[in-house]
Structure 1
């Protein structure tokens, strides 16, 4: 069983999507189920509707999953397991206030040391704990031995008890902290492979510690993916960057198939530059992912996107553009000479249907041309139309070609009008208003 566990507190970013895609591919290769587990314990930070948005994005990318879970639904199990750890003296009640902990962190910072809980509450007697009438958290005891695990991509890791520390597993309101909840949920859901970002390496060792104290010995294989850098800035792509948001990329007119193609391609060796996720399942090997950070280049994504648009069926492209006409699909591909996204193509087509009242530098010619076009009979051939207009208006050269281009396209330059006209001739009544 594999899992993708997005948070409902923020937009899904491209690093999240890459994790989802790799989990999907590997689940198909292993013939194991993929589940979606929404991390919704941060109730004050949860954004209403964000879970549905995440599921919609997964659907857009054709990422199939077996079941959907909400982490909060397992609260009773989180609390039950915590009680078991307390009873077995593997966890303890901690009455230290946030102010006290902040003070200890500040002292450690001044001494140039990493903060580690000082264990003040760990050895309180049961009687003392019963007599303290104050809010408390539950902390797990730090391990007695090093925590070791192997990452399929990065190799062996070995961490000391100090690295793990006596971390909090239940907050004062008795809801679980992230690592504890993940550890319990992965046990309950029989997870066999965890694919996540490398920022979760320290989370992994804490989760292993929880499961070991609970006597859970099933081996879980791990893959921690390198970070994604912005190729233009060289910095890690963060949630404040527009580029990081999957929703933003979709709104900007990038096809899901192209985004998925690119996220699998970066930091990887592929037999072809252009492929579908289903094709990637045949050759993808997660152990071959580069160990260095991947670089996300928006210009490269545009090139990939253009090729995916080119490969679309004309009618399919037409429907994406808001029509149901093969000619409009063909027109969209004509505009790929100067565009690369659906949004840009839509803008070009929108300009065609925009009402035009004047043409700069050709005001008189434009009026004469427009009046002629409104009265002209239908011409199947563009050259015949031009000949007719020239005869009726005595316009020629730039005085004809420039205002005619603007009247038919709404812009002063672009693909050859002779390529555009056959695809818009049936819409002239709407275009020349």
Structure 2
């Protein structure tokens, strides 16, 4: 069993999506189930509606999962196991205020040392704890020896007791902290492999420590994926979708990034056949928006014309062909849609060709349906007595919303819009 965890306190990032995609691929390769875990225990920071958005994005990328689970559903287990840990003296109530903890952090900073809890509350007697009326959190007992585990990408890792420390497992409202909830939930769901970001390496040591104290001895296989160096304006998955990138192209690029692949353009289904997670680059990969645009353009060129048309709000094979014409200078759905919208937008005049514009509009209103562009052009020339640029410049603007087309000719555009002339020239 694999799991992909996503918090309700933030946007799904490109790095998050890459982890989800790798979990999807590996689950298919190993014929194991994948579950989606919604981290929702930090109630004060949860963003309303974010869980729905997470699932919509995963579905958009065809991430196949067995079920969806909210961590808050397991609250009774988190609390029950906490009581077990406390009864065994493997966890303890901590009454230290936020001010006191901040003082400890500042003292460590002055000494140029990592912060470590001083263990004061761990020495309190049971009688003292019973007589304290102040709110408290619960901390885990610091490990007595190094926490050692193997990572598929990073090899053997070892964490000193001081780096794991006596970290909190329950908040004052008795909800579990991130590491505690994940450690317990991985036990409850019998998780065998954890593919996650390398930002979570320290968390892995803490979660292993928790499970050891709970006498859970199943060894979980870890793979901590290197980060992606990315400009913050491109870091949100939703933003890339809104900017007009195809999910298939984004997924293609994220698998390609920091990986050797048999070809550059592929689908997730194809990647399942040859992808090897152990071969991913161990260095952070650099996200290149221009490379993504290049890949997106190739995916758009490959999709069915009718599907392209429907993405743009039509149901016409010709509109799909027209959209592909504009791919010579554009690379996203958003950019293409802007070009299509210009074609159908009202035009009141054409700067520099105001009189010619009026004459052409009148002629177009009288024009019969004409199949070929050459005959169409000839009809307008005879009707208006306009030729060369005086004809083509304002005509190009009326038909496309642009005074100059880049890399394509009006005679290529006309056959694909001739059925819409009445709407375009009104």
Maintained 8 Å contact 2:305/2:317: yes
Provide the rounded CA distance (Å) in 1 between the counterparts of 2:89 and 2:383.
98
Structure 2 unaligned blocks of 5 or more: none
1:271 corresponds to 2:255? no
Maintained 8 Å contact 2:39/2:70: yes
The equivalent of 1:248 in structure 2 is 239
The equivalent of 1:431 in structure 2 is 424
**Post-superposition shift, 1:42?**
1.2
* SS across alignment from 2:7: coil
Q: 1:282 aligns with which of 273, 284, 292?
A: 273
Q: 1:359 aligns with which of 339, 350, 353?
A: 350
**Which structure 2 residues correspond to residues 1-400 of structure 1 after superposition, within 5 A?**
1-230=1-230, 237=231, 241-400=232-391
Cα displacement string for residues 67-126 of structure 1 (whole angstroms, at most 9, x for unaligned residues): 110000100000011100010111111111111111111111111111101111112111
Provide the rounded CA distance (Å) in 2 between the counterparts of 1:201 and 1:169.
18
Provide the rounded CA distance (Å) in 2 between the counterparts of 1:350 and 1:215.
63
For normalisation by structure 1, the TM-score amounts to: 0.97
Provide the rounded CA distance (Å) in 1 between the counterparts of 2:379 and 2:137.
85
Provide the rounded CA distance (Å) in 1 between the counterparts of 2:145 and 2:111.
26
Maintained 8 Å contact 2:197/2:225: yes
* SS across alignment from 1:421: helix
Structure 1 unaligned blocks of 5 or more: 231-236
**Post-superposition shift, 1:242?**
2.5
The equivalent of 1:418 in structure 2 is 411
Maintained 8 Å contact 2:344/2:423: yes
Provide the rounded CA distance (Å) in 1 between the counterparts of 2:244 and 2:27.
29
Provide the rounded CA distance (Å) in 1 between the counterparts of 2:343 and 2:134.
70
Provide the rounded CA distance (Å) in 2 between the counterparts of 1:324 and 1:310.
17
Provide the rounded CA distance (Å) in 2 between the counterparts of 1:86 and 1:262.
47
Provide the rounded CA distance (Å) in 2 between the counterparts of 1:43 and 1:93.
21
More divergent stretch after superposition (120-129 vs 277-286): 120-129
* SS across alignment from 1:5: strand
Structure 1 segments of 4+ aligned residues over 4 angstroms from their partners: none
**Post-superposition shift, 1:394?**
1.1
* SS across alignment from 2:224: strand
**Post-superposition shift, 1:173?**
1.1
* SS across alignment from 1:380: coil
* SS across alignment from 1:153: coil
**Post-superposition shift, 1:392?**
1.4
Provide the rounded CA distance (Å) in 2 between the counterparts of 1:79 and 1:188.
14
For normalisation by structure 2, the TM-score amounts to: 0.99
Maintained 8 Å contact 2:42/2:177: no
* SS across alignment from 2:120: coil
Equivalenced residue count is 424
* SS across alignment from 2:172: coil
Provide the rounded CA distance (Å) in 1 between the counterparts of 2:46 and 2:119.
32
**Post-superposition shift, 1:279?**
0.4
Cα displacement string for residues 151-199 of structure 1 (whole angstroms, at most 9, x for unaligned residues): 1011110111011101111111111111011000000010011011111
Maintained 8 Å contact 2:192/2:220: yes
Provide the rounded CA distance (Å) in 2 between the counterparts of 1:308 and 1:384.
35
Cα displacement string for residues 281-324 of structure 1 (whole angstroms, at most 9, x for unaligned residues): 00000000001111111100000000000010111111111000
Provide the rounded CA distance (Å) in 1 between the counterparts of 2:349 and 2:141.
77
* SS across alignment from 1:222: strand
**Post-superposition shift, 1:366?**
1.0
Provide the rounded CA distance (Å) in 2 between the counterparts of 1:173 and 1:46.
15
* SS across alignment from 1:45: coil
Maintained 8 Å contact 2:61/2:248: yes
